[in-house]
Structure 1
Amino acid sequence: MKTINNPKCWTDLSAPVTNKMVHWPGEPEVSVCKLFDMNKGGPANVTTLSMSAHTGTHMDAPLHFVKNGKDISMFPLDLMIGPARVIEIKHDRFIPLEEVKQYEINPTERVIFKTKNSLSEWAKQEFKRDYVYLSSEAAQYLKEKKISIVGIDYISIGGKNNGKEVHQTLLGNNIWIIEGLFLKDVIPGLYEMICMPVKIKDSDGAPARVIIRKI
């Protein structure tokens, strides 16, 4: 992905779905294969997919960590398109409250965190146990600010020791989460964003296509 210079140019932040791409430990490997292949005498090309709903670039619905919460098919249409702010985090282990508080975050904002996770081609690598995650204090701050969406550049916004807490703090307050974004060449600033998760009834998450362009 190239650095964004043309305001009219849309940039795709979504990870390609490929065989054996990184996935959360304990969840099934990604399988993309041909059920029918015209090069092998098939009547058409038909691809089958097998993976967790929380693989690659995806959205978490409240149902992911909130009993009887909203499922991904209930993602509000008015949140799918609109301004989003990319904030670059310097801390190399987690997203601390002190850094987040430097920005004047407003209610209903869509906030995307770019961290050192974006320095590597994480989707093609083994699962990283030292990925940068959102601190519990910063999650609480975002809850108090009543933002609408938060995104991050790895497959989980929470860490090993606070994953459940961070998810519950956000999802329990109707803050929808985008995980697995590609932000390597994205310059911090304000963008127009389109985020379209697959509409899967009763699912706690779904793969999503996320694109942005500079405002």
Structure 2
Amino acid sequence: MPTVIDISPPVGPGTPVFPGDTAYAQTWVARIGPGCPVNVSAITTTPHAGAHADAPLHYDPQGASIGAVALEPYLGLCRVVHAIGVRPLVQWHHVCHALPDEATLPARVLVRTYAHMPADRWDPALTAFDPELLERLADRGVKLVGIDTASIDPADSKTLDSHQVIRRRDMRVLENLCLDAVPEGDYELIALPLKLMTADASPVRAVLRTLD
């Protein structure tokens, strides 16, 4: 039977977000007690907390909201590639060992850069993607890329060059994946965004299933 691997970091109070973004907070609207049969909470958070899918609207003023994008890129065969310890940018030579030129690639590529993802703290020196890497992946038919850091661009970038490649090549992106326990190889990815019709991103419960 296939094994399910959860690649979503926990989300709750203390979950790191980009400086200045909205941290996770939860309040109780109702609690179980006399006259009330249920617990009901309200949450406030950036949609970029934890594992999440960026919408084109995040980096393109005319882009689609996350609720309007097709779901196919977020579901299907993917390849996990290790580039552990690489900084500041993952470049082609860091990942080409797992992406041979003569082979057909899965439409989804996820890159692990951390030995242990810092799920409880903000990393200002996060590893990002070299835009040229994304161009080469798009040329090979890749429709979705994912990374275990908070952004595919450096945290201090003002031009968001990698996000602009994603925009121009009509690719999709997952960020803040937790790939600590995932060996290199091929898996089935399931990471569906919520149907948030005006949002620039959505949390996802990202999982991999082994192919055996």
TM-score bucket (shorter structure): 0.7 to 0.9
- 162-171 or 26-35, which moves further after superposition? 162-171
Distance 2:79 2:42 in 1: 35
- The offset of 1:161, in angstroms, is 3.2
Name the structure 2 match of 1:29: 23
Name the structure 1 match of 2:108: 110
Structure 1 residue ranges, 4+ long, deviating more than 6 angstroms after superposition: none
Name the structure 1 match of 2:56: 62
Name the structure 2 match of 1:195: 191
For structure 2, list consecutive stretches of 5 or more residues without a partner in the other structure: none
Alignment of 1:52-131 (within 5 A): 52-93=46-87, 94-102=89-97, 103-104=99-100, 106=104, 109-116=107-114, 118-120=115-117, 122-125=118-121, 127-131=122-126
Contact kept, 8 Å, 1:71 with 1:202, in 2: the verdict is yes
For structure 1, list consecutive stretches of 5 or more residues without a partner in the other structure: 1-6
The percent of aligned pairs where both chains have the same amino acid is 26
Contact kept, 8 Å, 1:136 with 1:166, in 2: the verdict is yes
- The offset of 1:141, in angstroms, is 2.0
2:139 to 131, 140, 144: 144
Contact kept, 8 Å, 1:13 with 1:211, in 2: the verdict is yes
* Distance change >3 Å, CA 141–CA 70, structure 1 → 2: same
SS in 1 for 2:12: coil
Deviations 1:44-86 (A, max 9, x none): 2011110111111100111111221122112323333210100
2:5 to 7, 11, 32: 11
- 71-80 or 55-64, which moves further after superposition? 71-80
TM-score, structure 1 as length reference: 0.86
AA in 2 matched with 1:207 = P
SS in 1 for 2:119: helix
Deviations 1:8-29 (A, max 9, x none): 1111111222013100111011
Name the structure 2 match of 1:51: 45
Contact kept, 8 Å, 2:71 with 2:192, in 1: the verdict is no
Distance 2:192 2:135 in 1: 26
Distance 1:198 1:207 in 2: 7
- The offset of 1:202, in angstroms, is 2.2
TM-score, structure 2 as length reference: 0.87
- The offset of 1:39, in angstroms, is 5.9
| Number of aligned positions between the proteins | 206
1:174 to 170, 175, 193: 170
SS in 2 for 1:212: strand
* Distance change >3 Å, CA 60–CA 85, structure 1 → 2: same
Distance 1:114 1:79 in 2: 19
- Give the aligned CA root-mean-square deviation in angstroms: 2.2
* Distance change >3 Å, CA 161–CA 68, structure 1 → 2: closer
* Distance change >3 Å, CA 185–CA 37, structure 1 → 2: same
Distance 2:34 2:180 in 1: 39
